[in-house]
Amino acid sequence: MFKKHIVRAVATAAVVFGGIGLAGCSGGGDGGGGGAEGDLVTVGFVAVGPEGAWREANEANIQETFTEDAGYDLRYAPATNLDQQSQIDAFTSFVDEGVDVILLSATEGSGWEASLERAQEAEIPVILIDRGIEPNDDSLYATRIAPDNMVVSESVAEWAVSAFPEGANYFVLEGPAGVSVVNERNEGFQSVIGEDDAFVSLGAQTANWSTEEARSVMETVLQANDNDVQFVFAQNDEMGLGAVQAVEAAGLTPGVDVQIATIDGTRPALEALAAGQLSFVAEYNPLFGETALEAVETVLDGGEVDSYIIVPSETFDSPEAAETALPDRQF
């Protein structure tokens, strides 16, 4: 069985598995689709598909890592219009095909128990990419690989407490309901901000990771509160940039009248931070294809992996920090 405990990593740490090489990866699990030595390892990737810059960078990184040259046949199956049933259907097909391993990045956290149990019965290991499942039963998968949403969102709240020592009226732009990362980001943020009575919540609403929806939501929020909003927490960069547009449309100055913090750390967000439009950006590092590859190698070789592998991420709290990071930003 897999080793089940969580390993936390600080932002400067490297995620390593002991230097396992590619040479031992030609075989599959006992009940998977592994063939003779020299065959490609088949990997079913149940993906989210188009959902913004972070997702594009993450899924491209996975695809660029699991190549034929590296010994893999990666079968990419993005969701149809973010529909969970299309993901369940793809997952079932991969089990029926007898792939060696499945990578799962779920559009919704719940509803996966039967699929995961079926993969377990077929002895096909499953690795969660980015998003967890709810309720979380780590006996049904090998590991989850992702940055720590709790730590990332706590960093946003800790910055806000320091930026507003006398408190602030704030609003939260959330991702889609039912997604594990949304719940985790809410929990981490509230674990800090909820302890400070000087912060007054004006509410929270999903904007579905969308710039356009976030602008519309924030325009309504600003009008309803006579522009008396000092702080916006956007759970991804695109929504944060939508909030910037709404603040400007209201005749206010983002970064001065309304401070906006986001999560992801994409190039557009860092450019907005460098320009003073955003005030704080917490990176949610999408580039962990190599980490996933080494986890797959370990699992297929019969080794142990931790049930949660934390991907190190950084934070950016000034235009100068953004300017320093931008030349090397890959997403």
Residue 199 has pLDDT above 60, yes or no: yes
100: which residues sit within 8 A by CB, 6+ positions away? 27, 28, 29, 32, 33, 34, 41, 42, 43, 124, 300
pLDDT (tens digit, 9 = 90+) per residue, 53-72?
Answer: 899 999 999 999 999 999 99
pLDDT tens per residue, range 103-118 = 999 998 899 999 999 9
What does the pLDDT average to over 219-229?
Answer: 98
Q: What is the pLDDT of residues 279-316, one digit of tens each?
A: 999 999 999 999 999 999 999 999 999 999 999 999 99
Q: Where are the alpha helices (DSSP H) in 194-236?
A: 211-224
Could you give the 3-state DSSP secondary structure of residue 188?
A: helix
Given a contact cutoff of 8 angstroms between Cβ atoms, the answer to whether 283 and 316 are in contact is yes
Give the chain's mean pLDDT. Answer: 89
Question: What distance in Å separates the CA atoms of residue 290 and residue 16, rounded to the nearest whole number?
Answer: 10
How far apart, in whole angstroms, are the C-alpha atoms of residue 68 and residue 71? 5
pTM of the model: 0.84
Kindly list the structural domains of the chain, giving each domain's residue range(s) and its CATH number in brackets, ordered by start: 6-145+286-310 (3.40.50.2300), 149-284 (3.40.50.2300)
In the predicted model, what is the mean pLDDT of residues 263-277?
A: 97
CB 143 within 8 A of CB 307: yes
Position of tokens 């100068």?
320
Tokens of 238: 């695109």
